[in-house]
Amino acid sequence: MFVVYALYSAKYDQLYIGYTADLISRFHAHNSLATSGHTVKYRPWIVAFVEVYETKQQAMKREKELKSSQGRAFIRKLISSL
């Protein structure tokens, strides 16, 4: 099972979209463990969106869709409705 997720940093109004087989560990890495990379600069993150897929290929395809301008607009609309 694979998860496509969107993280949101309210402090910096930033989105991060990715996929993983272990969301808990990946989220912990984004918020605490990582010492370099894009997500380190924009902590703290919250999980704003999650979708579950059976295969890695499906998750990768959906991640690519969400990283498009339309996909990012979709995620931002969800966040603004919270």
Domain boundaries, the chain: 2-80
Mean pLDDT of residues grouped by 10 in the chain (82 residues)? 97 97 96 91 96 98 98 96 82
Q: What is the pLDDT of residue 64?
A: 98
CATH code, residues 2-80: 3.40.1440
Whether the CB-CB separation of 27 and 7 falls below 8 Å is answered with yes
- Residue 11's DSSP bridge partners are none
Q: What is the pLDDT of residue 10?
A: 96
Q: What is the pLDDT of residue 82?
A: 74
pTM metric for this prediction? 0.94
